[in-house]
Amino acid sequence: MYGSCDATTAGFLEAVSPQVAVISVGAGNRFGHPCAGVLERLKAVPLYRTDRHGAVEITSDGVQVWVATGR
């Protein structure tokens, strides 16, 4: 996701029950992403942001999920 205010909804997050979330966003972008509402909706999910964590790689064996970051 890219962090705009309509990038996710509570209903979507409830339906998919994410184990992790990634927001692809540039530091200091002119759009103000990620939106505070998105961050609030994702507060219960481990969140990685490319502006803070660099490249984010997610690997899964279908059961477990592993995350590696560039920073």
DSSP per position, 7-69: S--HHHHHHH--S-EEE---TT-TT-PSPHHHHHHTTTS-EEEHHHH-SEEEEE-SS-EEEEE
Task: Indicate the pLDDT class of residue 23, thresholds 50, 70 and 90.
Answer: very high
pTM: 0.84
**What is the pLDDT, as a whole number, of residue 39?**
93
pLDDT higher than threshold 70 for residue 13:
yes
pLDDT higher than threshold 80 for residue 2:
no
CB atoms under 10 Å from CB of 13, counted, come to 15
Question: Token pair 């899964």 is at which residue?
Answer: 60
Q: Are residues 4 and 38 in contact, defined by beta-carbon separation less than 8 angstroms?
A: yes
pLDDT higher than threshold 90 for residue 21:
yes
pLDDT higher than threshold 70 for residue 1:
no
- What average pLDDT does the structure give for the chain? 91
C-alpha 48: how far from chain center: 5
